[in-house]
Structure 1
Amino acid sequence: MPSRTTHSLYTLTDSSECGSETEEVDPSKHLTPLEKLTAEMCKNENVLKELALGRRVSFYKVRGQIGSGNFSKVKLAFHALTKDKVALKILEKRRLDLQAQKMLSREIANMESLYHPNLLPLYEVVETQSRLYLVLEFAGDGDLHTRISTAGKLSDQESKIVFAQILSAVKYMHENNIIHRDMKAENVLYTSKTCVKVADLGFSRRVNNLNQALDTFCGSPPYAAPELFKDDSYIGPPVDVWAMGVLLFFMVTGTLPFRADTVAKLRRAVLEGAYVLPPWVSAPCQQVIRGILKPDPSERCALDQMVGCEWLLPVELFHPIPHLQQLNPIHLLEADPGKLDRDQEEVKAILEKLGITQEHIYNNQGKSIRSPITGVYRILLHRVRKSRGAESEPTISGVVKDPKRDSLRAYRNLRHTSKLCVIS
């Protein structure tokens, strides 16, 4: 008889012998949700069939496809314990050559090392004999490209709110020496009407320092910076900045600044750097776009200059960024008394109700993102923090409260020329 893939009650990892590690449960004993689920995954014929057919993966019930990429497809799924929706990025191992495997490993490592309200979070990685599953937050309101393509350009105010969030995410990535290299409207996902997250770190690259030279052409040609078309080495941050300028142009006009029916013609248009801004785009917004879309990367606006520009000065975007240590469930057990915040205390209580004990948490250490316990914990922590407004949309107050930003107001009426950009 072929062996069945089942799950151990204590380790919550794949095991070929369920009965060898799972204790017999007294039928009269009240089962916790975790005990009930693991028992079903060992003995319930319907659940075992779903696991064999790929309709279930670990603790996730898999539903229909919601997206696809060059090497992957994305499906909607539900966590069987927490009932939360997630997105499953599914990759067939046999289709991944050595380069694709290297990129995937880099993507997972970079996502593990980042935690920001405007970056799509990675909850868990599940691996089977033939597939690899990345469990991500489900962004149910679609992507920026689809929204603009169907409903038209964004208003000036909505553009400010969306662009400020993208800027915050990319700035955080660069502060952690990670370059995105595939910024485009398709990779900006809506989690609510006005809250967005930057996604798809498949081409991302960690560098030793932000001046490190790179030599791989990455991303979508309409968003590619001029230096990428010159088949020479380039510096990472200005490439992301250029793509953000193209993205902002697309948001406020509904069209791309550089368009052509062939890559060769597109290359020529980008290298020439000629584009036309419609008159309805506000003057402060035009100033940002012109400061970004400069052919010479050394003359482009830096991210800090964008934060302080006149167009974004009224936007309040201050989200605390928790420490990465808090993404590990062991933090609940090892934190000093009274050091857990309200969100963590609530998550700890929910885990206990689900039947996840200290023993489960300790037994799953060393597996990091590849632990189902980590997956449950991160999903719950994200849900609780989101319910308390940790990912609320930026506000446009017109009053700048940050002293650093206030100091920039003094320079609004001055003209300052630097190697990076021109502020007027």
Structure 2
Amino acid sequence: MEESELGERENTVLTPFEKVIYDMRNNEKVKNEQILGKRVGFYQLRGQIGIGNFSKVKLGIHCLTKERVAIKIMDKKHLTHKRRDLFINEVLCMEQLHHPNIIRLYEVLETHTRLHLVLEYAEGGDLFTKICTQGRLLEHECKFIFVQIVSAVKHMHENNVVHRDLKAENVFYSATNHVKVGDFGFSVLCPVNEPLNMCCGSPSYAAPELFREKGYFGIHVDIWALGILLYFMVTATLPFRADTVKKLKKCILLGSYAIPPYVSDICQKLIHGILQPIPTNRYTIANILDCQWLRGMQCPEPYQPFHLSPEHLAGHLTLSEEEREVKKALSDLGITEEHIYNNHDWESHNPITGTYRIILHQNQKRYNPAGFAMMSNVPRAKRPNGRKRQNFRARVQNSKMCLVL
């Protein structure tokens, strides 16, 4: 809608969609928020909730739906050619995925100085912080978490997406106590049988072949990281530890580690099956899901593939009940078929597309809750005292170091 037309309607009742656009163009408070970086697009920015290797993450509120989102912000002046390629890969990979245990991408926003990824917000914090604070998880709880992560990785690989940075810091708890894999900053879209060369990710989770500089297959690297992650969950330590990356590399290439005796035999067998130095000897995703330790666990199913843009809602196709509900929700906000039909930029760089994806995801979560409810009364392993927690954090700091060679 043109600004002049909105101006003529200043004294009339505007739809929520019209009101947001009008305020962005005419409301001095909103315009100041945009200048000060407190608002971008249809989102109000709140406090910082995370920090990555090349970005920071802030909490955002979508002005139309009031949905809380996580907004990953990258400064353009720090974007090298390699990092820009990684950013493009991150968007392309997330666009392929539609799984309840994977963080959803809603919208991409670009200003003169920054790039923004608007993502699903998982408000329960990350797995790394939880274990650092509360100690190792008992195996019963680990099974619930691990099967969700494995299901997410299975979906990635089925869609030719390799994550390359699986670790506890990138597993997030949602409000319903399910977990979601996020941070696709090192991910790549490629056929599973295509070798990769760039060495990236976190050293403590790095597979041996990453250090051999002969190329590697992404699916094997992700599976190795699953083994490190499982070890971390059941022990609250990492199997390979060292003060420097050089020493850590030597430990990983030697492949020698010990599992504490309190870990069950069948869980130890699974860890050993995953942490095989030779990639082709490593358990596959199918082997993991079929192992005795996960026997009886239900593997969450992906959502049905969905349209990335709302273009189909403005056509004459027969819509499903879910699509009709999404279309009605958009209409209630003032986004009509005319708005949808007259907008031709249907990639993620579009506020109508962003609103559509948020509403669609709200609908999917309502009708297809992720996985299964976690048991709130599961007993925990004994928590470490304050000094032990500090020592533990120091021991695993190398998992936060980044490999980009």
TM-score (norm 2): 0.89
Aligned residue among 373, 385, 389 for 2:364: 385
Is 1:351 the equivalent of 2:330? Answer: yes
- Aligned CA RMSD, in angstroms, stands at 1.7
Partner of residue 310, structure 2: 329
Bigger mean CA offset, 272-281 vs 361-370:
361-370
Partner of residue 388, structure 2: none
Q: Aligned in 2, Cα 1:168/1:45: closer, same or farther, shift over 3 Å?
A: same
Question: Would you say how many aligned residue pairs link Structure 1 and Structure 2?
Answer: 375
CA shift for structure 1 position 223: 0.3
CA shift for structure 1 position 393: 2.4
- Write the distance in 2 (CA, Å) between the matches of 1:219 and 1:320: 25
Partner of residue 363, structure 1: 342
Partner of residue 340, structure 1: 320
Partner of residue 163, structure 1: 146
CA shift for structure 1 position 279: 1.5
Q: Aligned in 2, Cα 1:159/1:124: closer, same or farther, shift over 3 Å?
A: same
Partner of residue 277, structure 2: 295
CA shift for structure 1 position 170: 0.7
The one-character-per-residue Cα deviations of 1:147-197 (angstroms, maximum 9, x if unpaired) are 101011111111111111111111111111111111111111111353111
Aligned residue among 89, 95, 119 for 2:102: 119
Q: Aligned in 2, Cα 1:119/1:47: closer, same or farther, shift over 3 Å?
A: same
Q: Aligned in 2, Cα 1:47/1:295: closer, same or farther, shift over 3 Å?
A: same
Aligned residue among 261, 265, 275 for 1:279: 261
Partner of residue 109, structure 1: 92
Indicate conservation of the 8 Å contact 2:178/2:371, yes or no.
Answer: yes
Amino acid at match of 1:181: R
Partner of residue 233, structure 1: 215
Unaligned runs of 5+ in 1: 1-8, 11-17, 397-424
Amino acid at match of 1:329: P
- Write the distance in 2 (CA, Å) between the matches of 1:376 and 1:353: 12
Is 1:252 the equivalent of 2:231? Answer: no
- Write the distance in 2 (CA, Å) between the matches of 1:91 and 1:180: 19
CA shift for structure 1 position 392: 4.1
- Write the distance in 2 (CA, Å) between the matches of 1:270 and 1:34: 54
Partner of residue 198, structure 1: 181
Query: 1:140-219 alignment to 2 at 5 Å?
Result: 140-192=123-175, 194-207=177-190, 209-219=191-201
Aligned residue among 243, 261, 266 for 1:261: 243
Amino acid at match of 1:303: I
Unaligned runs of 5+ in 2: 376-405
Indicate conservation of the 8 Å contact 1:162/1:194, yes or no.
Answer: no
CA shift for structure 1 position 26: 3.5
CA shift for structure 1 position 395: 7.8
Indicate conservation of the 8 Å contact 1:162/1:196, yes or no.
Answer: yes
- Write the distance in 1 (CA, Å) between the matches of 2:286 and 2:366: 30
Bigger mean CA offset, 219-228 vs 309-318:
309-318
Query: 1:31-110 alignment to 2 at 5 Å?
Result: 31-110=14-93
The one-character-per-residue Cα deviations of 1:266-290 (angstroms, maximum 9, x if unpaired) are 1111111111111221222111101
The one-character-per-residue Cα deviations of 1:83-134 (angstroms, maximum 9, x if unpaired) are 1100110111111011111111111111112211111110000111111110
Q: Aligned in 2, Cα 1:305/1:335: closer, same or farther, shift over 3 Å?
A: farther
Q: Which has the higher contact order (CA 8 A, sep 6+)?
A: 2
The one-character-per-residue Cα deviations of 1:359-417 (angstroms, maximum 9, x if unpaired) are 21122233311110011011111112212343242689xxxxxxxxxxxxxxxxxxxxx
- Write the distance in 2 (CA, Å) between the matches of 1:369 and 1:68: 23
Amino acid at match of 1:317: C
Q: Aligned in 2, Cα 1:392/1:186: closer, same or farther, shift over 3 Å?
A: same
Partner of residue 288, structure 2: 306
Q: Aligned in 2, Cα 1:185/1:77: closer, same or farther, shift over 3 Å?
A: same
- Write the distance in 2 (CA, Å) between the matches of 1:255 and 1:298: 26
CA shift for structure 1 position 58: 0.8
Q: Aligned in 2, Cα 1:371/1:280: closer, same or farther, shift over 3 Å?
A: same
Indicate conservation of the 8 Å contact 1:144/1:190, yes or no.
Answer: yes
- Write the distance in 2 (CA, Å) between the matches of 1:213 and 1:392: 32
Q: Aligned in 2, Cα 1:381/1:215: closer, same or farther, shift over 3 Å?
A: same
What SS class does the counterpart of residue 156 from structure 2 fall into?
helix
Amino acid at match of 1:98: H
Indicate conservation of the 8 Å contact 2:90/2:184, yes or no.
Answer: yes
Indicate conservation of the 8 Å contact 2:46/2:59, yes or no.
Answer: yes
Amino acid at match of 2:309: N
Indicate conservation of the 8 Å contact 2:92/2:189, yes or no.
Answer: no
Partner of residue 117, structure 2: 134
Q: Which runs of 4+ in 1 moved over 4 A?
A: none
Amino acid at match of 1:43: N
**Which is greater in Rg?**
1
